[in-house]
Amino acid sequence: MLDSIKYKWDGDYTLTLPKKTEGIALFNENPIISKWVADIYDQKVTETDEVDFLLSVIGNEPKRILEVCCGSGRILVPLAKAGHTVIGIDIDTFMLDKILAKSAGLEKIEWHKADAVHDDWGSGFDVVVLADNILFNIVSDMDYKRAQELFIKKAASSLVPGGYVYIAYSPGGNNITKPGQSQSHKDNGNRIVWEGTDNDGNYGKMILIPGSFNSETSLNSFGRRFELTFANGGELSQNIDCVKHFATLEQIHGWLSDAGFIIELECEDFDKNPINDESCEVKIYAQKK
């Protein structure tokens, strides 16, 4: 377990947080908000269809697998339970702290705090997993398009010859074959994305604030607002501006080709239905030459 420190809100609410929290919070949230996000993510995101899909394409033979931005272990732990040797990296300590309880009794699993953009991913892996729409959720001060391409290059460097990268990409409601304004930005008003009570009894909301799409830069601009009411009655809110780069399927194909990958499977969903002109997401399983 990570060492911890005390974080004190201006009222009388005190929260125990892991040490070295600087720079780990998604979009630089207040640490209390980051803790709420990790708890709510763990409560809300419980689907198993992506894990089932991954296991079907990886196969039964034990593999050495790296999951980049593994979060709270939603995918990492089931892969370990299936007999694979897995390593996860993530910059968010609040998320990583949840893996220990889930992985009790498992021996072939490791997880480490790391900045996926700037830190080394290691090498010798049979599979690199870029799941949970991470190409559209990169947290970095690097140019967004450059960071997306870098993830694919680093995946290639981390794999053995003949190894595979898995990519799940869903760019905010955009049609993946061409740039366009995402559905979330066509809404007339704000939309609650998550709402719930964390493990400390703090109730909160994450609200999406519609923005705009720049067709020249392919950048989506929008906002997130967090509103928390603490168990003791105190309140905290924070507005966060977000900018993400929409990469077309053609761009992803180009990055994969440049990095030495050949696409073995490409589909729009976990049922392996083919891509069409209306597709807003893609699952790719590509082999390193």
Residue type, 88: G
Amino acid 16: pLDDT: 45
Average pLDDT over residues 101-106: 96
Contact indicator for 263, 165 with CB cutoff of 8 Å? no
Query: What single string gives the DSSP state of each residue in 59-88?
Result: -SS--EEEEES-TTSTTHHHHHHTT-EEEE
We find that the CATH architecture of domain 45-175+247-288 is 3-Layer(aba) Sandwich (3.40)
Amino acid 57: pLDDT: 97
Average pLDDT over residues 66-94: 97
Amino acid 9: pLDDT: 45
Average pLDDT over residues 14-42: 68
CA torsion through residues 260, 266, 271, 277, sign: positive
CA torsion through residues 95, 97, 100, 101, sign: negative
pLDDT in tens, 181-216: 454 445 557 999 999 999 999 999 999 999 888 888
The DSSP code for 10 is S
Delimit the CATH 3.40.50.150 region(s) of the chain: 45-175+247-288
Say whether pLDDT at 230 is over 90: yes
Say whether pLDDT at 163 is over 50: yes
pLDDT in tens, 109-147: 999 999 999 999 999 999 999 999 999 999 888 899 999
Q: Nearest CA to 185 among 151, 146, 214? A: 214
Say whether pLDDT at 56 is over 60: yes
Say whether pLDDT at 32 is over 60: yes
Amino acid 187: pLDDT: 53
Contact indicator for 58, 127 with CB cutoff of 8 Å? yes
Amino acid 179: pLDDT: 66
pLDDT in tens, 241-280: 999 999 999 999 999 999 999 999 999 999 999 999 889 9
Q: Give the number of other Cβ atoms within 10 Å of residue 275's Cβ.
A: 17
Say whether pLDDT at 63 is over 70: yes
